[in-house]
Structure 1
């Protein structure tokens, strides 16, 4: 039986931060043996993307072309969130509150002038959340990926899915790790070991779930 190839992307460190847990998880997944993924028939490829509006898209498309994945799971850091949050939708908007790593700060710019206003994830986001919470890892469905480079990449993943029949993909945010917050801070964190475990389970769930769970995952604000 053919293995399912999954491309997992993360980001480099942003601004003055020493690391980015989304990129660290990707490095772990491709550098450390993953018997659970192998047993599930999953072949993982990974790439760490630049935190750049201009460069992230070409790097993403180059990785998709090089690895020919069946599933793309893009990861990014959402400092302040308390758990792993699969994104349900990405919007066609770049609106940067702060500059990216190249110093670019687009305001009210379309990602794709000819693209739809929004693109929805084709990952089983609710099933992923259910799988994570069942093993005690905090997770919830998110209805906004913001308008920074994470949303930019999430929208481009959706475009790749539209152009490649059979490809599935989406974006997931991860919270900060303890090394990124000051001692005594109230900002919620997860350890890199917890994040690796969670993303590994999310990958397996995405590969094995054809139809998403019909459970509550909405929000009132």
Structure 2
């Protein structure tokens, strides 16, 4: 299988992290345009952004979420939308922040709870997968991993098709059957993580990087 050719490379990058960088003024301008107050967002920027940038690491978001769920959820939203977000979408997330915090008040998501999350305005599988991963959640006992368009392209490519047999039975259905596709992806990724003794975090990051999409991972630095 193709992934076997990259195992040593992935292991060599274990000290690397998934980090995003966004402009602080982008977020402050978005918040200024909202119709409602967003105290948790403003508080987060005051505490965790420098004068120009908001730099977040996935493991940092997890630590923030564990210490303070409201602030950690804001961190997860900003980490997930590092390239920006529409004002109306941000307005819905600000409005629904208490609901999101309540929904995330569990370590392990089931079909029912994930469907509930996906039923929230503006929450698609790519967004949900990033937020779940950022907050260190599981789905059916498997660590939540990120699934976005770049990763779907990688696992449906000829390079990795054999490594993702369940997912490729749903080839091309990432949007039409998103929950089934995500569950199949997690099951395949879990098998690979166990087989090669590599963390789910390192596998999803590798797949995102493999596509050569420089916008997916803003930067990589040592922990």
What TM-score do the two structures reach when normalised by structure 1? 0.29
Q: TM-score, normalised by structure 2?
A: 0.29
Bigger proportion of residues as strand = 1
The structure with the larger Rg is 2
